[in-house]
């Protein structure tokens, strides 16, 4: 029976050793995969940077970038001009029909708030004087 137990123990030891070996191999492969992935990413970034640099040296690309810049600046300038014309036209229409603009309403709101605070302050002082006069 002891030989059987030894054979079984040996078998169990071999299986455990095989599992440990497999785990170590998986760990080694995983580490190797991570290193290769990192190297691949670095190499890809270098190549992309080099490609962009070479592409920017190309005369046609430089011309396209220059024209795109000019078009963008022109578009922004026209947008601002159009916005100013719309605001001027709207102010003219509102003035013709004697309608207050939103900026006019904001100014009036600020003035009304200021007047309201002053009235509240006056009301407090007057009510304080009335209480003092009644107490005498």
Residue 36's pLDDT is 96
- Identify the pLDDT of residue 92: 85
* Contact (Cβ atoms closer than 8 angstroms) between residue 86 and residue 78: no
* Residue 5 structure tokens: 């137990």
Q: Return the pLDDT at 8.
A: 84
pLDDT tens, 36-89? 999 999 999 999 999 999 888 888 888 999 999 999 999 999 999 999 898 888
pLDDT for 111 equals: 96
User: Could you read off the pLDDT of 102-131 as tens digits, one per residue?
Assistant: 888 899 999 999 999 999 999 888 887 767
Burial class (CB in 10 A: 0-12, 13-18, 19+), 45: exposed
């Amino acid at each position: 029976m002891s030989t059987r137990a030894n054979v079984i123990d040996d078998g169990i030891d071999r299986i455990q050793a095989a599992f440990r070996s497999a785990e170590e191999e998986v760990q080694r492969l995983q580490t190797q995969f991570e290193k290769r992935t990192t190297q691949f990413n670095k190499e890809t970034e270098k190549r992309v940077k080099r490609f962009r640099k070479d592409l920017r040296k190309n005369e046609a690309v430089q011309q396209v970038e220059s024209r795109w810049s000019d078009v963008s600046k022109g578009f922004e300038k026209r947008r601002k001009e159009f916005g100013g014309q719309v605001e001027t036209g709207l102010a003219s229409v509102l003035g013709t029909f004697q309608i207050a603009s939103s900026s006019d309403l904001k100014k009036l709101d600020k003035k009304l708030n200021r007047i309201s605070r002053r009235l509240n302050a006056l009301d407090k002082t007057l009510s304080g004087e009335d209480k003092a006069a009644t107490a005498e």
